[in-house]
Structure 1
Amino acid sequence: MNRRVLILGMGGLFGSAAARAFRAAGWNVDRYHRGTDMAVAARGARWIVNAMNPPRYHDWDTQIPAITTQVLAAARDSGASVLVPGNVYVYGREPSPWRSDTPHHACTRKGRIRAEMEERYRDFAAEGHSVVILRGGDFIHAEAPETILNQVMLKDLRKGRITAMGKPDARRAYADLSDMSQVAVRLAETCDTAPGLVDLAFPGTTFSARELADELASQLGRKIAIKRFPWTMLSLASPFWELARELREMRYLYDMPHEIDGAEFRARFPDFKIKTLDRIVFEHLYLRGMKVVPNPGGTMSTQTSL
């Protein structure tokens, strides 16, 4: 059976993780080069993984619909199925735990753009095409310096403190990319055998900044303080700094406790072991070269393979 996948946005967080996971599973991975003919690039592909976003968060309003139009045209032309990494922005302030049937009530510009994008993929699936929306919380990965966890929350870890982006006790959903990309591969193996939509929420790991600090303290053997992110300073940033605007727009998610219901995921993948918080912390410390206090009889040590 054809095991060729075209990945859009391979330089990004999900795209690079997906490329590694598909290659490890024996797939032939092709990289889409922005600006080239996507329909030509997709010919012969079994799947198109659309992890492409506008560069530097620029002009989401026009670029996301344009990318979606290209992907749908390329899928029609090539007969490829489509997999899209989804996020939780579409739920807005709907109470969690969130599931595939939770209403999309986006409360931000970015959330509305994503909801409209997903609706187009749903319509495409209704036409008889295979589409997967694999949804997760904030992306995390020990080897990705550009994640919020690495770039902001753990920035001052060597000084004995972390940064809480919102309320320290607000528990939030996080998606470890090595886990989530493995799920993407497993879905790609079977989800194109019948047309239609698979909307699957990946529960990931749920934790608060307080729980993160406690686990860091346990593994490092010293107290870890929590400071609050300086949103006031960010609000003074130039309105032309688009990253600042994007962060401010999604601020509500850092204060609102939320989680993803894992029932649908466990029913489909009962054997899949999602990383625990202690494992996530260990990997981030290991990649920083920070000494972990030995835990005799524990499941991890500094000799543990990543």
Structure 2
Amino acid sequence: MRVLVIGGGQNAEHEVSLASAAAVADALRVGGYDVSTVTISREGVWEVAGVSEGATAAESLVLAMPLISAVDVIFPAVHGALGEDGALASLCALAGVRVVGSGPRAGAIGMDKWATKLVADAAGLRTARGRLIDAADCGDSEFDGPVVVKPVSAGSSYGVSLVREEAELGAALREAARFDRRILVEEVVHGREIDVAVIKEAGGVRWAAPSLEIHAAGLFDTAMKYDGSARFTVPAQLSGAEAISLTRAALTMFDALGCAGVARMDFFLTAEGPVLNEVNTMPGLTAASQVPRMFAAADVSYVELVSRLVRAAEVPGR
């Protein structure tokens, strides 16, 4: 089977996406797939070796189309805006090519933290109370902290701040606005940070891997995610009732969004039960990332995990 792995992208998660794409490509080669790769630059240029030098973003996409039409499956390992948000899935849908992961609708809603909250509420899941602010209104925002300030559509905790004092709010809003004009201000939820990964296999069966607990002495921010200081427990030490409630909540959200492939649901586990934090429809996919760690605890190796994702790939919308 011929697979095109796409990495990079036009957002702050560019380097993370490159790492995911390289790891996925290597694992697929080990699994016996015929793998080709392409990188999208920070400027949106599809870097096709030998043909796209000096091309504009639009010209490079035209030059990349033969690569897309020549493969059986696209693996878009691009996190964040213009990748994970359904943009690449939409391209694959228009081209009629099978794609790994969620389709345009699930990607777009899952990337939008405000829309995700609305879907979660409709599905009966708890989220942190919050309000939406436009970047133009940052100077008029009231402080009712402590609060967490975050861009509505960004990943890897870029632009996220924990605000304890009113004097810190303005800087936090400006930092979030660097990544999105729409800003989410949420109450602080006190609870254990638990991630649950859900996979939809070929044939439609979906199941949740053993959960993962994040141990952080404060905000689990971008630096902690990638400097090696984060500590994880897999599987998380949960009671039977806690494990059931988290799995049920993760599957409910997966289905409510219409996800495919693999998605990671991030929760706070409180005394009153799970509180959904956010959804990642194309989570980090190096062997050391959280999702592969969870599936390893279910005796699914990294090579087998990416192979299962390719086998489950579908043309979006069909």
Q: Could you state the TM-score of these two structures normalised by the residue count of structure 2?
A: 0.35
Give the number of the structure with larger relative contact order, counting CA–CA contacts within 8 Å between residues 6 or more apart: 2
More helix by share: 1
More strand by share: 2
